[in-house]
Amino acid sequence: MPATDKKVIIFGAGMHGQQTLKMLGYEKVAYFLDNNAAKYGTFCNGKEIVGFDKIEANKDKYHFVIVSQYISSMKQDLAAHGISDFEVFRNYLFSYYETPELVFNPIVLIDITNACTERCSNCTRFCGNHKKPFFMDFETFKRAVDSMEGFPGLVALIGGEPTLHPEFERFMEYLQTRYPRQDRQKR
């Protein structure tokens, strides 16, 4: 999360901007800033989309987060408006939010097996081709889940094909005890 007390303006109201709103929390975000004038005055997930004109007078009150692949030109836009308090939300394979203090990865994947029903030629882990597939034991799984206590991002199970794990049902039951439905829906 940004190490600032200021409210955040997310520069870029696309899919990743909306993802960033979820990560930062509704209260932390003031507006979406966008270069597309057609969007001004409209709302995205309850936050108004504005242009530079709207924030010009109060721009120093905000911390800006660039969320777009057009990072260079957006940096130039901010500089042209005298804004230097910003950082960049990078989105490669899995999004992460970078701050001077930490790299926050919003998704943690618990890999419970490399067994798979398929044998895709492009599988990076040769799943489905192992003579003896790996199945995570329950205690290791429990430790992994417990270590996520208080983690604000997304926790997911992957494989291979996770449902091939002989204890998949038990794993899911344990996950449900740690993440009640109401908490899951916030993620």
Shortest distance, CB of residue 129 to ligand SF4, whole angstroms? 8
Within 10 Å of residue 28's Cβ, how many Cβ atoms?
16
Contact between 8 and ligand SF4 per CB under 6 A: no
Counting Cα atoms < 13 Å in the Cβ hemisphere of 46 gives 7
Instruction: Kindly determine how many residues on this chain lie close enough to bind ligand SF4 according to the rule CB under 6 A.
Output: 9
> Which region, judged by CB under 6 A, interacts with ligand SF4, from 37-45, 49-57, 73-81, 112-120?
112-120
Report the candidate in 103, 97, 164, 155 with the shortest Cα–Cα distance to residue 136.
164
**Residue 123 touches ligand SF4, criterion: CB under 6 A:** yes
Measured distance CA(84)–CA(4) in Å, rounded: 14
Residues 143-182 that bind ligand SF4 (CB under 6 A): 159-160
Residues pairing with 44 in the sheet: 47
Q: Which is nearer to ligand SF4, 2 or 128 (CB)?
A: 128
Does position 116 bind ligand SF4 by CB under 6 A? yes
Q: Does 127 bind ligand SF4 (CB under 6 A)?
A: yes
Nearest to 9 by CA among 173, 146, 176, 44: 44
Q: How many residues does the chain have?
A: 187
Residues that bind ligand SF4 (CB under 6 A): 116, 118-120, 123, 127-128, 159-160
